[in-house]
């Protein structure tokens, strides 16, 4: 089975397709923006990458969300709930973690099916 990589960098690729599964690198928003704005930015990046991989948000399999502070959980979920396709919610986990920089408030890791 072949492996296809998108936006390949020295350290990581933004997306890797193996068979009918796409794995996205962790997606973050603009450093310093609010949790809601960073979440919107992450979800827009996810939609773009999935589209380029022959997938979309109705094909999400699993999403892991890391938050710098779980006190922002409700704010992130408000944006998430408006975005996720009705009837297509993925398996999901969310936890608190120290992210790459203190300016990041949320990061999404996505696995999805693709055509």
Rounded distance between C-alpha atoms, residue 41 and residue 79, angstroms: 10
Token pair, residue 36, equals 């809601």
In this prediction, residue 98 carries a pLDDT of 96
The full set of domains in the chain, from first to last, is: 14-113 (3.30.1330.40)
In this prediction, residue 1 carries a pLDDT of 77
Q: What is the pTM of this model?
A: 0.96
Q: Using the predicted structure, report yes or no on whether residue 115 has a pLDDT greater than 90.
A: no
In this prediction, residue 94 carries a pLDDT of 98
Coil, strand or helix at 58? helix
């Amino acid at each position: 089975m072949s492996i296809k990589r998108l936006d390949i960098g020295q350290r990581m690729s933004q997306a890797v397709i193996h068979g009918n599964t796409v794995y996205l690198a962790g997606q973050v928003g603009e450093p310093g923006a609010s949790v809601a704005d960073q979440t919107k930015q992450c979800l827009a990046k996810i939609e773009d990458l999935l589209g380029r991989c022959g997938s979309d948000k109705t094909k999400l399999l699993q999403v892991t969300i890391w938050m710098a502070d779980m006190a922002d959980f409700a704010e992130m979920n408000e944006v998430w709930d408006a975005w996720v396709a009705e009837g297509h919610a993925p398996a999901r986990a969310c936890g608190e973690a120290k992210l790459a920089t203190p300016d990041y408030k949320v990061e999404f890791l996505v696995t999805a099916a693709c055509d």
